[in-house]
Structure 1
Amino acid sequence: MDTPSIKAVFFDIDGTLVSFKTHKVSSCVVTALKKLQKQGIKIFVATGRGKDGLAVIKDIPFDGYITLNGQFCFTQERIIYENFIARNELAILLDELKKEPFPCGFTMKNGKVFNYRDQRVDAIHAITHNDNQPAGDVSHVLDEKVYQCMCFIDEKKEKQLLAKMKNCTSGRWHPLFTDISPLGGTKQNGIDQFLKYYDIDLSETMAFGDGGNDVAMLKHVAYAVAMGNGEEAVKEIADYVTDSVDEDGVVTALHHFHLLS
């Protein structure tokens, strides 16, 4: 195939760059991403993780970070965009937690706090190694910038909650929980923020993902790559389905598109 003109590549973390088995980025992928940069291609992460969960990619000097599903975007030097949940929306959620308690993690700029933890939270932490934050009183979140809430609810409860939190949206990549975030800040909006910042056209973009919260992002970019371990909904809208994260699928796809010399 012809080599596309790509100037920016966006990567999900969990299940895309980071293996759920090793909880690391393979050395082959790290080398490949650094080669992209040397060739003048900018690289970004686009993740549901917060800033405090990026240690797993510390060996890669990304040109930008789209975190919390687009709510907090920054470079090594500055904040590019931030979007947080309105106080009245948080009040609605806290009220719901009193009526019908479920584990909920409130994510701020540099950390997260849960109202309480149970086996569901521990099960997700076993997968991500990123959700071991403390639990306790969360009433103070009304006076904090909360960018995202990790709600351990099923899809039925998710719809009921969003019907009340009308200025919020949700993204789910696991049946145990969904991320509730404010309208406006999404992975695709984060992409647009960085394209404007670096003066790159959308036609010069590529993205990699594996989960439901990657679908809108993959539809947005010029070239979409789904991981072999990804959900069927992701594979269906991809331009190319690569190998799994444990088979260095990122490297396979970069070679497929002739982006690695």
Structure 2
Amino acid sequence: MSKPGEPGWVPALVALDIDGTLLIPDLENGFSSEVVTDAVTEAVLAAARSGAHVVLASGRAPLSMAGVADRLGLTDLVREVRSDRLHVVASNGSVVVRYAPLEMVHEVTFDASAAVRTVLEHVPGAAVAVEEHGVGYRVNRLFPPGELDGEMIICDIDEMIAGPVSRVIIRDPDSTSEDFVNLAKQLGLHGTNYFIGWTAWLDLAPEGVSKASGLEWVCRELGIDAADVLAIGDGRNDIEMLTWAGRGVAMGQGPQVVRDAADHVTAPVDEDGAAVELRRWFR
């Protein structure tokens, strides 16, 4: 039997990050375009047509990811090929949904109150958001346009973190991603996982939860081994996924720490790197 990445190996499941992997990021404004190139779309659909399970795995909320799946044509294709629904790993692994229709099938929550208050002591002007599944986000102040999908419901911080949550976003337009990397290291943030985006964007998740843990849950449901998974991503929140999968592939524009964690580095997102990798295994 071929080992992952060797000739003859065929991924049974393809895990795909969205922003910076399928969608080209707008680094100046801090969010992705909502357009996927024809080359990437065709490569993703070819993988699904071949019989592989294609799973979107992102820090985005389920509602936003469902929209991306629709734009790819993946929702309809999976329904046609498998008479089934997509698995989607959302919120950096805290939430797994089936789509369409949107149905939560797995969620991990935690008490984020101490971590949020600790961060706000150091970044008092930050915007904070907690997911309101299927609706949007509860926020202490409005986020920059285009960064959150769905409705933004203004709430008091204490109200937002009074009960268990699956994910908290902390965003400071006046800081950089490196500022947040250094802050997270300094604070330790015990009892949580944290993920840094390409802007000053900090995701707090339950300890031990990542895209890898969400994908592992999906693989157990489908009877697939991690060795048969191809994962592609570009961000720090993809590192666990890339090291867990049988073949982990980093996008060429990803930070060095992400590329170092991968088995292979493909072309950057603006050169259709995801399509380059998918074409190795699916024609």
Cα distance per residue 1:54-91 (max 9 Å; x no partner): 223323226311100000012226433201122xx426
Distance 1:175 1:197, change over 3 A: same
Q: Aligned equivalents of 2:260 and 2:149: distance in 1?
A: 29
> Quick one: which amino acid aligns to residue 75 of structure 1?
R
What do residues 18-64 of structure 1 show as CA deviations (whole Å, max 9, x unaligned)?
11244322222222222211111110011000012222332322631
1:18 is aligned to 23
TM-score (norm 1): 0.84
Q: Which amino acid aligns with 2:48?
A: Q
Query: Partner of 2:252 in structure 1?
Result: 228
Q: Name 1:260's counterpart in structure 2.
A: 282
CA–CA distance in 1 between the matches of 2:155 and 2:107?
Answer: 26
Cα distance in 2 for residues equivalent to 1:104 and 1:162: 19
Look up the match of 2:181. 155
Q: Secondary structure at the match of 2:25?
A: coil
Give the equivalent residue in structure 1 for 2:175: none
Identity of aligned residues (%): 24
Note closer, same or farther for the CA distance 1:95–1:249 as it changes in structure 2 (3 Å cut): closer
Assess, with a 3 A threshold, how the Cα gap between structure 1 residues 82 and 241 changes in structure 2: closer, same or farther. Answer: same
Task: State which drifts further: 233-242 or 213-222.
Answer: 233-242
Q: Any unmatched runs of 5+ in structure 2?
A: 1-5, 27-32, 79-85, 173-179
Give the direction of change, closer, same or farther, for the CA distance of 1:225–1:92 in structure 2 (3 Å limit). Answer: closer
8 Å Cα contact 2:57/2:92 also seen in 1: yes
**Counterpart residue number, 2:68:** 56
Paired residue for 1:67?
90
Mapped partners of 2:171, 2:158: distance in 1:
18
**Please, which of 148, 151, 156 is the counterpart of residue 137 of structure 1?**
156
TM-score normalised by L of structure 2: 0.78
Larger mean CA deviation between 240-249 and 91-100 belongs to 91-100
1:173 is aligned to 197
Q: Secondary structure at the match of 2:51?
A: coil
Alignment partners' CA distance in 2, 1:96 and 1:36:
41
Q: CA RMSD in A?
A: 2.6
User: Distance in 1 between the 2:210 and 2:119 partners?
Assistant: 24
Return the letter of the residue paired with 1:219: T
Residue 6 (str. 1) matches residue 11 (str. 2): yes
